[in-house]
Amino acid sequence: MRSANPLLGDLAAALVFSSLALYQLIADALLFQLGIPYTSAGGSLLVKLHPGTWVGLLAFVVALAAHGNPVAVLAAALRRHPPLGLWLGAIVFLLGYSIARYGPSGAAFLIDTLIMPAVTAVTLLALAPQRRATAFRLVIGLMLFNAAMALVETARHEHFVLYTVGGIEPHEDLFRATALTGHPLNGALVTGTLAPLLLTLRIPAGARALLLGYVVLALLAYGGRTSFLLTLLFLGGYLALTAAVKLTRGRFTYAQITGGSVVVLLGIGLLVAVVMGAGLGERIFTKLKVDDSAEVRARIWSVFGLMSEQQLIAGASPAEIAHFIFQLALQDPLETIENFWINMYLQFGAIGFLPFVAAMVGLLRWLWRLAPGPARVSILIFVVVSSSNNSLSAKGSMLTTVVAALVCHASRRRDRRLERRRARRTAAEPGEAAPAGAAGVLPDRCAARPQAFG
């Protein structure tokens, strides 16, 4: 989308880039170490929202103002992308419901974790396509940067930022890297989810294979079993299916089949050698069984038997939820209810949970239709892995990062299709040049789908 005010458009782009960077570089653990009560009790609203949220909200306002009346532009954007409006409406309802019942305490996560993904999506949709391509490269680059830090941490057995949970440093038998993500599971979730999008980079196939191997090593360093196993399962399955389809259609020569098989086997052997030599993934490989962590995840489902009829309908207060955690014999904050679906139901009951699920389904369907292929693998990984922890019911930026990457990827994909069409049109009519701005008016076979355009 072209800005009516290019200067404001450039400012909005710089601000949203900064917001995405802050989300991936400044975690709650770092804020705690700096003495900022971001996740602890006390403090003003100013410190209860992440720095990336404040910058992102400013980017949102500037991006809308760059196109005219911000309210009218926002209304037009939500009409064009109804699932974003449904998501924003549902989360704003939950925010108002939470404040009305329990006060403002504990409601900030709804802004940081759940409102900002839609705000960031609208902001990116208001930018020019080349800006979205830059945002995509930024998100992927920061993920790879954190992956490098995770590998360095594992080699040194020392965190760059003190690893804390609820202000307490956990004592774990086996080291897990955190990089700048604040928690091993946060790093593993973002890394595993964005890994399939590496397949869309315009780089040689060998370089993409090296990046995928690098990401696998990072997942081992983070030590997240679910993220590691599901990323291998979904991504490996997608690659195998893609190769099988191309093979049946005769797109591979004999030399490519034999040479590719040798390269894959050598690559797997090299990866195994690196893992064994560096001692990566010790926690994953030694705990591929039902342990205390898995037992806790199974035990938390019994919380529904502790709830009264009123709590099942209207939700439980923070004090009541804390009592449930005590009754389940969980050692809060090191052990808690590691399932964001259960957490959301506990907090809001059926009154809030049903609108939340409806909005989540709409958002995921919208993202699913934006771009097929690797992006859909990313969505599957994110949904399944995030369901095994409380990443979406506590303060975090993982959903914002993933939504931003998927929206920007869809824009890149559509631009590539338009480039190919212009190239074919130019080849068919060598005497005629493509008109200026044709990218915005060429017919699109997928026009009925939600597009990564504002």
pLDDT, one tens digit for every residue, the chain (454 residues): 566 788 999 999 999 999 999 999 999 889 988 888 888 776 777 889 999 999 999 999 999 999 999 999 999 999 999 999 999 999 999 999 999 998 887 889 999 999 999 999 999 999 999 999 999 999 999 999 999 999 999 989 899 998 887 777 787 778 899 999 989 999 999 999 999 999 999 899 889 989 999 999 999 999 888 888 899 899 888 888 887 877 787 776 666 667 666 666 666 776 666 666 656 666 666 655 555 566 777 788 889 999 999 999 999 998 899 899 888 888 766 677 888 999 999 999 999 999 999 999 999 999 999 888 899 999 999 999 999 888 898 899 999 999 999 999 998 777 766 666 767 777 766 555 444 433 333 233 333 333 334 5
At 111 the pLDDT is 95
Compute the distance between CA of residue 259 and CA of residue 6 in angstroms, rounded to an integer.
50
CB 142, CB 24: distance < 8 Å: yes
CB 353, CB 344: distance < 8 Å: yes
How many CB atoms sit inside 10 A of residue 323's CB?
13
At 346 the pLDDT is 94
Compute the distance between CA of residue 222 and CA of residue 150 in angstroms, rounded to an integer.
7
Q: Please count the CA atoms within 13 angstroms of the CA of 358 that sit on its side-chain side.
A: 15
Q: What's the token pair of residue 414?
A: 């559509």
CB 20, CB 404: distance < 8 Å: yes
At 272 the pLDDT is 67
pTM value is: 0.85
Residue for token pair 């009218």: 72
Paired residues of 165 in beta bridges: 168
Q: What's the token pair of residue 32?
A: 């705690």
Read out DSSP for 311-360? HHHH---HHHHHHHHHHTT--TTTS----HHHHHHHHHHHHHHHHHHHHH
How far from 221 is each of 169, 176, 285, 304, 407, CA to CA, in Å? 19, 6, 12, 35, 28
Task: Tell me how many degrees the CA angle 26-27-30 measures, rounded to the nearest 5.
Answer: 85
Compute the distance between CA of residue 359 and CA of residue 345 in angstroms, rounded to an integer.
14
Domain edges within the chain: 6-288+339-419
Q: What's the token pair of residue 143?
A: 């993920």
- Cα pseudo-dihedral 174, 398, 215, 140, rounded to 10: -150
Q: What's the token pair of residue 388?
A: 């095994």
CB 340, CB 389: distance < 8 Å: yes
At 175, which amino acid appears?
A: F
Q: What's the token pair of residue 271?
A: 């990866």
